[in-house]
Structure 1
Amino acid sequence: MSSSKSPERVALLAKGSHGNEETKGRWWRMRRVLDLEEARQQLLLSLPMIISNISYDFITLVSVMFAGHLGELELAGATLAGSWASVTGFSFMIGLSGALETLCGQGFGAKTYRMLGLHLQASCIVSCFFSIFISILWLYSEPIFIWLHQDPQISKIAAIYLRHLIPGLYAYGFLQNILRFLQAQSIVMPLVWFSILPMGTHFGIVYILVNWTSVGLKGASMAASISLWILFVSLAMYVACTKQLKQTWEGLSSESFSYILTFLKVALPSTAMNCLEDWAFELLVLLAGLMPNSHIYTSLIAMCVNTQTTAFMLTGGLSAAASTRVANELGSGNPEKAKSAMAATFKLSTILTLAIALALVFGHNVWAAFFTDSSLIVTQFASVTPLLVVSITLGCFQDILSAVARGCGWQPLAVLINLGTYYFIGIPIACLLGFMLKLYDKGLWIGIICGLFCQGIALLSFTLFKQWHRIDLSVESGEETQVFV
């Protein structure tokens, strides 16, 4: 048998070798565009979070939508109430529960599993304590709205809506604490299973209470409270009964009271960072109430805020994954991998943001119809849609940068950035354009776009030029030690 190769076989081998090189080349180019392994890891972590976040927040959003179909006045009142609930209640609860990302995350990494359950109980005690004061604020919301120069009729309807949402506030705070407790242990799928059923039943509950009973508007907020409690109870039963959490949940203990101060030291800065951003958006709804035809502009701005919030629901899973990955890699002494993780998140966010923008451009009339039957408001919403696409695009990238700041431990810095960009740049520009130049709803939204742009530039500058490091938080002493890597 001859050892030499025939010309045909040589050509075939050369072609096969060339084909393999082309395949490897395409694979290498794809990996340079996107780190596929990192992207896969982040998607597995973020997708369940996206689904669960949408389910939780859609409960309150769907109630506002059902109230809006009762009339323009009811829509304005329900949207004002929803904005006020977010400003004074829900954002506060989310910020407080953010402390568990640090305390439970570090405790799980250090294998001090018992501490996770104690921190969870301390957080629920703190949430309940603050919920009492927020409930009192909601009970007297009507005179507060009137003092803020809101329309008296809209203020009365918003106050009625808020009173029946008070029970849901307590459930929402407990729910956010359990969510962070499970996420710290990378147990995310139960969040999906226990959120889909309550979201599905909520449509039935709110439809029956609003349309089949005499409670009307009250039924919309009552349904939200009922569904939030169903969600909390189901997750609490899972935590108490599953064997998967037997190391981190040993049952109720009075020892948790001794960790309240430690929890507050971490929770209050986290709350400030979260609330300053959310308050800027909700402040636009109050400003819209000062304009002529306030019921129209209040509804429009509130719809824009709810749309922006919905977009944040979708990108919130990616931002949570980015924060987790950045923190994990910095904790392991790998700042370059942390930066690579951030880059992968930015690329995934670009794809997701493009999809959201296209959906809004082509489906804005359908989306607006979920909130109202008024053709005037639907038409006005269409004229604001291009500005809304810009704000969503900027907001999604800013959300990732804020997640990186949380992962790096830059919360105090982020608080200053949020304060400066929103309240010294964005809101003043919104007032100038909306009132003095009479651009009304468009002027208000252009102002918030300016704030988002400046915030993104500031966060990006610190992300690129500030040294990345990990922070060790001593739970016992409450002191922070920066460890540079």
Structure 2
Amino acid sequence: MEERIPLLSQRVPGDGTAGVGGGEEEDGGGDRWWSGVAREAGKVGSMMLPLAAMSVAQSAVQVASNMMVGHLPGVLPLSASAIATSLASVSGFSLLVGMASGLETLSGQAYGAKQYDKQNLDPNRFSGSCKATCSPPTMEAFRGVVLFLRLALPSALMLCFEWWSFEILILLSGLLPNPELESSVLSICLTTTSLMYNIPYGLGGAASTRVANELGAGNPEGARSVVHLVMSIAGTEAVLVTGALLASQRILGYAYSSDKEVVTYFTSMVPLVCISVAADSLQGVLSDLR
């Protein structure tokens, strides 16, 4: 019995199906196209939701900490917490996350090509539900280090520069005339932006995996269809999230701080936060489609 491949379309050679809505010309109707879109959207969603949920859970620690510190008397505790968090992100977190993103390309293509033994050469893991990809430790894992570094190092540099550009703003805000207030407000803005980025982060990871699956299976048309679908989802998400931020801009600041001056300054910054969130929704997905 043929093993079911959950991340790949169940295609039969010569049946005319390819990616989203494949085979539309042969059937001559739109029902097959919509069913293909819905099927691909379900696959993307099944991978995006766990990634986004995991990312939100990780970010929740920092967000909750800032919220608790922000309600302490004065604005100094919030500004001090913001600078400490920025130093931790710049000094280590960004590099580790960036290098790990190199696995999205290698593992996705290995799965798409049904070369399950190679998928375990990069990440050594064990799961009872992934028996096909579990293999004992082997020296062959070291033969692919150069290929992995060729993908991981550029990814790490790209992500580091992106994170550092945000964190440097917080550090430089300490040089402004009112550093306590400016650092606190900028920290709230960047924390909100980072929290909203978790959605396109999960969507981009799902898109990267699906594109790698299709390319590994030798189906470039399917990969192109996945990109079109994912970018449509990203655009819709950008409109919904920015609309929600604009609608709640007068009350959102009170979640981070009880200081009225901080809340007032943050309210005036919300339109700029919305522009950043909208750009992240598109750029965050495109950056994973490499």
TM-score range, shorter chain: 0.7 to 0.9
2:57 aligned partner: 55
1:41 aligned partner: 43
Checking the alignment, whether the CA contact within 8 Å between 2:97 and 2:156 is kept in structure 1 is yes
Q: How far did residue 115 of structure 1 move?
A: 4.6
Checking the alignment, whether the CA contact within 8 Å between 2:108 and 2:212 is kept in structure 1 is no
Residues 1:103 and 2:106 aligned together = yes
1:258 aligned partner: 142
Checking the alignment, whether the CA contact within 8 Å between 1:83 and 1:302 is kept in structure 2 is no
Structure 2: gaps (5+ residues): 1-28
Residues 1:344 and 2:229 aligned together = yes
Residues 1:86 and 2:89 aligned together = yes
Aligned partner (choices 135, 142, 164) of residue 279 of structure 1:
164
Over 3 Å counting, the alpha-carbon distance change for 1:260 and 1:292 in structure 2 is farther
Q: How far did residue 247 of structure 1 move?
A: 4.6
Per-residue displacement from partner, 1:50-78 (whole Å, max 9, x unpaired)?
Answer: 11211122123222322222341111011
Q: Distance in 1 between matches of 2:229 and 2:40?
A: 7
Q: How many residues were matched structurally?
A: 259
2:182 aligned partner: 297
Checking the alignment, whether the CA contact within 8 Å between 1:39 and 1:348 is kept in structure 2 is no
Q: How far did residue 396 of structure 1 move?
A: 0.8
Structure with a larger share of its residues in helix: 1
Structure 1: gaps (5+ residues): 1-26, 122-180, 182-238, 407-485
Over 3 Å counting, the alpha-carbon distance change for 1:119 and 1:333 in structure 2 is closer
Per-residue displacement from partner, 1:431-476 (whole Å, max 9, x unpaired)?
Answer: xxxxxxxxxxxxxxxxxxxxxxxxxxxxxxxxxxxxxxxxxxxxxx
Over 3 Å counting, the alpha-carbon distance change for 1:112 and 1:84 in structure 2 is same
Per-residue displacement from partner, 1:146-180 (whole Å, max 9, x unpaired)?
Answer: xxxxxxxxxxxxxxxxxxxxxxxxxxxxxxxxxxx
Query: TM-score under structure 1 normalisation?
Result: 0.48
Residues 1:374 and 2:259 aligned together = yes
Over 3 Å counting, the alpha-carbon distance change for 1:260 and 1:340 in structure 2 is closer
Q: Distance in 2 between matches of 1:305 and 1:112?
A: 41
* Structure having the higher Rg: 1
Residues 1:391 and 2:276 aligned together = yes
Q: Distance in 1 between matches of 2:110 and 2:231?
A: 29
2:247 aligned partner: 362
Q: How far did residue 324 of structure 1 move?
A: 2.0
Q: How far did residue 354 of structure 1 move?
A: 1.8
Checking the alignment, whether the CA contact within 8 Å between 1:64 and 1:82 is kept in structure 2 is no
Letter in 1 for 2:65: S
Aligned partner (choices 51, 64, 67) of residue 65 of structure 1:
67
Q: Distance in 2 between matches of 1:295 and 1:348?
A: 39
Over 3 Å counting, the alpha-carbon distance change for 1:342 and 1:296 in structure 2 is same
Per-residue displacement from partner, 1:342-398 (whole Å, max 9, x unpaired)?
Answer: 121122122222221122112234432222111101110000111111121122111
1:440-451 map, 5 Å: none
Residues 1:320 and 2:212 aligned together = no
Q: Distance in 2 between matches of 1:57 and 1:299?
A: 18
Q: How far did residue 102 of structure 1 move?
A: 2.9
Per-residue displacement from partner, 1:302-336 (whole Å, max 9, x unpaired)?
Answer: 21111111111012121112222222333334333
1:467-478 map, 5 Å: none
Per-residue displacement from partner, 1:403-454 (whole Å, max 9, x unpaired)?
Answer: 22x2xxxxxxxxxxxxxxxxxxxxxxxxxxxxxxxxxxxxxxxxxxxxxxxx
Aligned partner (choices 117, 122, 132) of residue 119 of structure 1:
122
Higher RCO (CA < 8 A, seq sep 6+): 2
Describe the SS at the equivalent of 2:229. helix
Q: Distance in 2 between matches of 1:308 and 1:386?
A: 12
1:403-442 map, 5 Å: 403-404=288-289, 406=290
Describe the SS at the equivalent of 1:91. helix
Q: Report the more deviating stretch, 322-331 or 312-321.
A: 322-331
Q: How far did residue 95 of structure 1 move?
A: 0.5
Q: Distance in 1 between matches of 2:253 and 2:245?
A: 10
Describe the SS at the equivalent of 2:209. helix
RMSD: 2.9
Identity of aligned residues (%): 34
Describe the SS at the equivalent of 1:35. helix
1:126-205 map, 5 Å: none
Checking the alignment, whether the CA contact within 8 Å between 1:95 and 1:274 is kept in structure 2 is yes
Describe the SS at the equivalent of 1:66. helix
Q: How far did residue 260 of structure 1 move?
A: 8.1
